[in-house]
């Protein structure tokens, strides 16, 4: 009975901790999340899925200005043979074309991206003077917005970009996991045609 109580207490304690963590989630991971964020992240996810269909590592991004999507892009490094053709770089370039002249750089715009930007893209985010960066999945191997380093919030730079992490995190990392799982399976059992 004592053991049972202890175990039960353990489970209850874990649940309480989990609930507390989730509620505080608005603290660490979901800091700064806004009601519109999931909707725009879904649009970035749709771009990521397009990339997967093209055999590209599925990362998608959209740039939002004045509550509207002004540019969308997905990773195209394979198809273009351009190692800089990451979703964020393409989305920033397209947004700059669309907004040409109407704003200074991309001031007042936000970018939603399904995977934490790398050092190159984080640098572009700072140079674009984005107002906000919203990230789906973290990238512990190459992420430069809080994982490996934090370029966008580096105090030494003259512009810093507030970051919201973990928006639709499971869906965003899921699309990458599915992609690599399929690719591994195809390598093991190549199609016979």
For Zn ion, the binding residues (CB under 5 A) are: 86, 118, 120-121
109 and 127 Cβ atoms separated by less than 8 Å: no
Q: Is 18 a known active-site residue?
A: no
Pairwise CA distance, residues 37 & 144, whole Å: 21
Is the CB of 72 or the CB of 86 nearer to Zn ion?
86
Residue 185, SS3? helix
Is the CB of 70 or the CB of 121 nearer to Zn ion?
121
Continuous H helices in the chain: 2-24, 37-53, 77-80, 87-98, 119-127, 169-188
Q: Smallest distance from the beta carbon of 92 to Zn ion, in angstroms?
A: 11
Is the CB of 118 or the CB of 138 nearer to Zn ion?
118
Q: Smallest distance from the beta carbon of 122 to Zn ion, in angstroms?
A: 8
Residue 134, SS3? strand
Q: Smallest distance from the beta carbon of 118 to Zn ion, in angstroms?
A: 4
The DSSP string of 76-127 is -HHHH--TT--HHHHHHHHHHHHTTTTSSTTTTEEEEEEE---HHHHHHHHH
Is the CB of 46 or the CB of 120 nearer to Zn ion?
120
Pairwise CA distance, residues 92 & 80, whole Å: 17
- Which listed residue (33, 88, 97, 186) is catalytic? 88
Structure tokens belonging to residue 109: 């715009």
Q: Smallest distance from the beta carbon of 187 to Zn ion, in angstroms?
A: 24
Residue 69, SS3? strand
Is the CB of 86 or the CB of 165 nearer to Zn ion?
86
Q: Return the residue nearest Zn ion (CB atom).
A: 121
119 and 168 Cβ atoms separated by less than 8 Å: no
Q: Smallest distance from the beta carbon of 188 to Zn ion, in angstroms?
A: 29
Q: Which residues are catalytic?
A: 88
């Amino acid at each position: 009975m004592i053991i049972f109580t202890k175990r039960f207490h353990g489970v209850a304690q874990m649940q309480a901790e989990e609930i507390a963590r989730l509620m505080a989630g608005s603290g660490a991971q979901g800091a700064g999340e806004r009601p519109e964020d999931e909707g725009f992240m879904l649009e970035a996810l749709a771009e990521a899925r397009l990339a997967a269909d093209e055999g590209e590592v599925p990362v998608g991004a959209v740039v939002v200005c004045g509550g509207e999507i002004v540019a969308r892009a997905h990773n195209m490094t394979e198809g273009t043979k351009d190692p800089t053709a990451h979703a964020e770089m393409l989305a920033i370039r397209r947004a700059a074309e669309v907004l040409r002249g109407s704003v200074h750089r991309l001031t007042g715009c936000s970018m939603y991206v399904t995977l934490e930007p790398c050092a190159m893209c984080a640098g572009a985010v700072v140079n674009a003077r984005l107002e906000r960066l919203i990230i789906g999945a973290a990238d512990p191997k190459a992420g430069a917005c809080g994982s490996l380093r934090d370029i966008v919030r580096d105090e030494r730079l003259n512009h810093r970009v507030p970051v919201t992490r973990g928006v639709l995190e499971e869906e965003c990392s899921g699309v990458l996991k599915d992609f690599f799982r399929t690719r591994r399976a195809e390598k093991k059992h190549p199609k016979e045609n």
